[in-house]
Structure 1
Amino acid sequence: MKKHLASLLALLGIHQHLSAEQKQDIAGAALSVSPGAAATGVFKVWGLPLSDWLVVASLAFIALQAGYLVWKWRSDYERAQRRRADRERLMAMAKVPVEPDTDLGHL
């Protein structure tokens, strides 16, 4: 493995040890290239044309967005229920009439 890395560094023109900044730059470049390389590998393995991959990626993205929205709406609903129950319990303890849900008060 070290020989392969040394030959790669020699190809890049780096013969000495890398500085921290150079290592960070190489890691950042590898991270930015990896999605394209993975997509190319999957494209070659499954043999779908690019237009079909775009449709698959779009559908996957839409499904992820829908899942996130359902999760968000459910957590917001549960949070509102907990707040309402806490408010009612505190009002019962204080024996104060329950105020409306708006900040405007009674109009």
Structure 2
Amino acid sequence: MTGRPYRRRGRGVQARFLVRELPGITVTAAEDGVRDAERRGSLADTARRAAERALAEAGRGYLGGRLELRAHGGGARGRDSLHRAAGRAAALAVTATLRGDDTQVSVRATRHFR
């Protein structure tokens, strides 16, 4: 067998941020596990706002960058948890980049009960 065996993945988000001198954040959202284009766009908007907020809080609001976002898992029930995970992953990727750490961050989407 030449292919990799199927491995079930939980819900989560991977993010990578590359800084640039021009202001503004470009989000590239992969469609891995998130089939609906509208949902991909809303995840990208959530991540973009979180990255802009992280840059502003670090006093680097004049910078911009490219945020690569990959969400896996999902479904209607996991939408809110994926949005929270996208925001956390974007903020962590931005702060890791500003510190000079590894720029690829993975965040597991957890479900919060009220």
Q: Say which structure is richer in strand.
A: 2
Instruction: Please report the TM-score for the alignment, with normalisation by the length of structure 2.
Output: 0.26
Which has more radius of gyration?
A: 1
Q: Say which structure is richer in helix.
A: 1
Instruction: Please report the TM-score for the alignment, with normalisation by the length of structure 1.
Output: 0.27
Structure of greater relative contact order (alpha carbons < 8 Å, 6+ residues apart): 2
